[in-house]
Amino acid sequence: MKKLISLGILCTLIICSCSQTETIKDTTNNTEKVKSNFNFQTETFADLKILRYQVPGFEKLSRQQQKLVYYLSEAGYAGRDIIWDQNYRHNLSIRRALEKIINEWDGNRNTLNWDNFMTYTKRVWFSNGIHHHYSMDKFTPEFSEYYFTGLMKAVGASLNDEALKAMFDPTFDAKKVNLDPSKGLVLGSAVNFYDPDINESEVDAYFTSIKDSETNEPVSYGINSKLIRGKEGIEEKVYKLKGMYGEAIAEIIGWLEKAISVAENQAQAYALKLLVEYYKTGDLKTWDAYNIAWVNATKGDIDYINSFIEVYNDPKGYTGSFESIVEITDFEASAQMKVLSDNAQWFEDNSSIMEEHKKKKITGISYKVISVASESGDASPSTPIGVNLPNANWIRANHGSKSVSIGNIVYAYAQAGGKGMLEEFCHDNEEIERAKTHSKLAGKLHTALHEVLGHASGQLNPGVGTPKETVKSYASTLEEGRADLVALYYIMDEKLIELGLMESLETGKAEYDSYIRNGLMVQMQRLEPGADVEESHMRNRQWVSAWAFERGMEENVISKVMKDGKTYFEINDYKKLQSIFGELLREVQRIKSAGDYEACQALVEGYGVKVDQNLHKEVLARVKKLNIAPYGGFINPKMVPTKDNTGQIVSIEMTYPDDFTAQMLDYAKRYSFLPDYN
């Protein structure tokens, strides 16, 4: 899945919620659409802040449409257990032990141990498991194993020895996803996509043995399965109704069938029927047929994402994590941004990439601004701000793609923003004022350019395999960096002014300021002291920024400035920086098109992994005094149906819970369909 993570591109937006002048109307600020006096942030703990979002427009939907949103949302929640098990084999048993303690323990809850226990539990809830959602490092409990086993004994809970070891031994299954090839991508990763003793060479050999190298329309090998060691060797355990995760999939299917009964149109119903068939059979050709039907179902107010999609959690890039997003179209904002998809061919033709890597015909790009009504699985509580699907290159080339920007999430982040980051990390007042005036629009445009143009651009050389086959563990960071570079290259182009998307290049300058400031410095706040950069999006922001900084040294395009003992980065020549971004885009597209592993490895490892430890210490110290949590995620709204005496839904009320713990316990009660081990 081509997914834009919120804490990257929107760094400036999240930390500053000022009034701004912009060309695109911010429809989410319409007082007719949102509730006044709404509390967007509810609590903070560890490195996290818990937020809420509103769903403008839900009350204006017809009863049938509201039912569709409700049924699709329930289908998403029904699969919630799946992401927990996918993230780590012991997650469900650990989660249930934690929840049993919270529900039943009647001892003293006013102690430091209990506070630390609750913080640990909330972190586990937030990350859908015992590993950090972003750094992938395992959480370290700040309470003893003795205290925890005492809690379990008091309520009659239990864990097996390996699950206890997973919680309290810091070296055991320490990394959810390991991207360091020297440590073994598969054996070094705790994710539950492979039996614990299967190694990378066995994974490669298996998929090589089943791959059809003659077709130009390959299926998505491994997208819906776990590799296990069977009696005859390595084999797939498929996610389907009568296969792995079948208990949860049965519930998903039930809700999807209800959704089919209230679909807005035939195209939407047909896609949903194919999705149900795919869940029943696990057939990958049905998955392709579904994606084609889903891409072509562009009419209606409601859309959705539901299945095994995101491959970033697989160190080999094959298996998709379960996720669900239910969407309501913001037609006014979508109409304003439609100009990008309408002009996609112009942007492709005028790109800095080599002519042989340009698509001669951009097909079927659909772009919308949407409001999410619910999120589940890998999309919750931490959520993207933009999504572009499907993944398969041949489907995108032949049938098109759908891109969305999630307007109500962006708005909620802005309303809950902290204060002081601009003043702390901007070099001067000019940069601060530019950010306050233009950063909101700049962030929106970057998201749109990244999703609509970035992921749709470029093509592979004939005969070259997919990036997960050619550049392997670097595929995700290469693709996200490539899409970022498309956005960066064009956000300083007069064409955006001509199209009416912005009033001046000051918007582009604000985005350049933010991107360089974040990529070279501010995002380090998310790393533990001494850590390398491992998350794919963080890597791509660093290697893009660091390569550009080095490339422009001779002409002083970007200055590293010391002032009052603090480090700042100042852009001196924005147009030259645009040219540098264009150079890098050309090379990154060449790497992807040619499948050049050595060049990709040199780029990512040389610029995107290591950090300046002295600068890192400085950033941590400067951020600490501001008391701003670097990560945010959301409590979902809750839809409450009212039924008549025949059991038929007559109305649905959208409510907005504000207690993260209560929602997690409620979800555990209503949507636990899988056994502890699967």
Give the tens place of pLDDT for each residue, 323-339: 999 999 998 888 877 89
pLDDT of residue 35: 58
Give alpha helix (H) positions in 297-428.
331-342, 344-349, 393-399, 407-415, 421-425
pLDDT of residue 186: 97
pTM attached to this predicted model: 0.85
Neighbours of 601 (CB within 10 A): 16
Reduce the DSSP state of residue 361 to 3 states and report it: coil
- pLDDT at residue 15 tops 70: no
Give the tens place of pLDDT for each residue, 638-674: 999 999 999 999 999 999 999 999 999 999 999 999 9
Structure tokens at 512: 């350049």
Structure tokens at 171: 């070296």
Q: Closest Cα to residue 233, out of 197, 284, 274?
A: 197
Report whether 130 contacts 90 (CB < 8 A).
yes
Give the tens place of pLDDT for each residue, 366-415: 888 999 999 999 999 999 988 999 999 899 989 999 989 899 998 898 88
Report, as an integer, the average pLDDT of 475-502.
Answer: 97
Report, as an integer, the average pLDDT of 346-363.
Answer: 95
pLDDT of residue 417: 67
Distances in whole angstroms, Cα of residue 601 to Cα of each of 32, 314, 459, 591: 51, 18, 20, 10
SS (H, E, C) 150-211: HHHHHHCCCCCHHHHHHHHCCCCCCECCCCCHHHCCCCCCCCCCECCCCCHHHHHHHHHHHC
Give the tens place of pLDDT for each residue, 187-238: 999 999 999 999 999 999 999 999 998 999 999 999 999 999 999 899 999 9
- pLDDT at residue 18 tops 80: no
Residue entry with tokens 């913001």: 330
Tell me how far apart the alpha carbons of residues 31 and 6 are, in angstroms, rounded to a whole number.
24
Residue entry with tokens 């006044």: 36
What DSSP element (H or E) covers 285?
A: helix 284-296
On the CB side of 283, CA atoms within 13 Å amount to 11
Q: Residue 9 — pLDDT band, cuts 50, 70, 90? A: very low
Peptide bond into 381 cis (omega under 30): yes
Percent of the chain with pLDDT over 90: 84
Higher pLDDT, 225 or 31: 225
Specify the amino acid at residue 336: Q
Length of the chain: 678
- The two beta strands, 225-230 and 638-643, are unpaired
Percent of the chain with pLDDT over 70: 94
Report, as an integer, the average pLDDT of 4-24.
Answer: 38
Q: Residue 468 — pLDDT band, cuts 50, 70, 90? A: confident
Give the tens place of pLDDT for each residue, 506-548: 999 999 999 999 999 999 999 989 999 988 999 999 999 999 9
Report, as an integer, the average pLDDT of 337-360.
Answer: 94
Structure tokens at 135: 């750094």
What DSSP element (H or E) covers 441?
A: helix 429-448
- pLDDT at residue 13 tops 90: no
- pLDDT at residue 495 tops 80: yes
Q: Closest Cα to residue 210, out of 223, 199, 198?
A: 223
pLDDT of residue 16: 35
Distances in whole angstroms, Cα of residue 34 to Cα of each of 102, 407, 543, 674: 34, 12, 39, 37
Residue entry with tokens 């080339």: 397
pLDDT of residue 5: 45
- pLDDT at residue 25 tops 50: no
Report whether 401 contacts 364 (CB < 8 A).
yes
Report, as an integer, the average pLDDT of 607-617.
Answer: 96
Determine phi and psi for 481, rounding to 5 degrees.
Answer: -65, -40
pLDDT of residue 6: 42
Mean of pLDDT over the chain = 92
Give the tens place of pLDDT for each residue, 82-95: 999 999 999 999 99
Give the tens place of pLDDT for each residue, 551-597: 999 999 999 999 999 999 999 999 999 999 999 999 999 999 999 99
Q: Residue 36 — pLDDT band, cuts 50, 70, 90? A: low
Tell me how far apart the alpha carbons of residues 351 and 585 are, in angstroms, rounded to a whole number.
9
- pLDDT at residue 28 tops 50: no
pLDDT of residue 637: 98
Provide the Cα torsion 417, 423, 425, 426; round to 10°.
110
Identify the bridge partners of residue 654 per DSSP, sorted by sequence position: 639
What DSSP element (H or E) covers 498?
A: helix 494-498
Peptide bond into 56 cis (omega under 30): no
Give the tens place of pLDDT for each residue, 257-310: 999 999 999 999 999 999 999 999 999 999 999 999 999 999 999 999 999 998
Q: Closest Cα to residue 422, out of 68, 11, 65, 4?
A: 11
| 28 Cα distance to chain centroid | 22
Higher pLDDT, 255 or 368: 255
Give 577-581's long-range contacts (Cβ < 8 A, gap of 24+): 577/492, 577/512, 577/548, 577/552, 578/488, 578/489, 578/492, 578/493, 578/508, 580/548, 580/551, 580/552, 581/485, 581/488, 581/489, 581/544, 581/548
pLDDT of residue 24: 39
Q: Closest Cα to residue 206, out of 177, 184, 228?
A: 228
On the CB side of 407, CA atoms within 13 Å amount to 27
pLDDT of residue 76: 98
Give the burial class of 611: count Cβ atoms within 10 A of its Cβ; 0-12 exposed, 13-18 middle, 19 or more buried: buried
pLDDT of residue 333: 81
Residue entry with tokens 């409990």: 141
Structure tokens at 309: 């999609």
- pLDDT at residue 144 tops 90: yes
